[in-house]
Amino acid sequence: MRIVIGSDHAGYALKMQIKTYLEAKNYTVIDVGTDSAAESVSYVDYGRSAAAEIVSGRADRGIIVCGSGIGISIAANKVPGIRAALCTNSYMAEMARRHNDANMLALGGRMLAANYAQTIVDAFLTYEFEGGRHQKRLDSLE
């Protein structure tokens, strides 16, 4: 599975920890930036860049991180075809996949410890969309 990751400066540290974690689990990771926590950058740019990787088919799922996870999820969700879910626990990530077919996970770099974030990432990457009655709801979003 190819995973795109992106963050602004506030999410940089958590993004890098997640990247290392995913690579150790043999996922292919596409990092669209940012490359430092030192310079303030816009979460909009990195949310959109990560979303573009999903829409183009270069990545299967995405993980995006800003300070709270809110701004970057809003930015990504502006891209047609993206369903970014801001999750603060593994059950939310499970439901985002099973019921909403979320293709991007948004996390708050200032909100979550790395080991806790990893449990959320694991849930997001483990579960599949159930379809059925949930598909009708997704169709209505289009």
Which two structure tokens, joined as six digits, stand for 141?
């979003």
Question: Which one is catalytic: 9, 66, 87, 134?
Answer: 66
Structure confidence at residue 77 (pLDDT): 97
Residue 34 contacts residue 8 (beta carbons within 8 Å): yes
Using a 10 angstrom Cβ sphere, with 0-12 exposed, 13-18 middle and 19 or more buried, the burial of residue 36 is exposed
Q: What are the domain boundaries of the chain?
A: 2-141
Tell me the CATH number for domain 2-141. Answer: 3.40.1400.10
Structure confidence at residue 139 (pLDDT): 75
Given a cut of 90, whether residue 48 has pLDDT beyond it is: yes
Given a cut of 90, whether residue 12 has pLDDT beyond it is: yes
The H or E element spanning position 30 is strand 28-31
Does the annotation count 66 as an active-site position? yes
Question: Which one is catalytic: 9, 87, 99, 134?
Answer: 99
DSSP 70-128: HHHHHHHHTSTT--EEE-SSHHHHHHHHHTT---EEEEETTT--HHHHHHHHHHHHH--
The H or E element spanning position 19 is helix 12-24
Structure confidence at residue 38 (pLDDT): 94
Does the annotation count 99 as an active-site position? yes
pLDDT digits (tens, 9 = 90+) for 81-136: 999 999 999 999 999 999 999 999 999 999 999 999 999 999 999 999 887 777 77
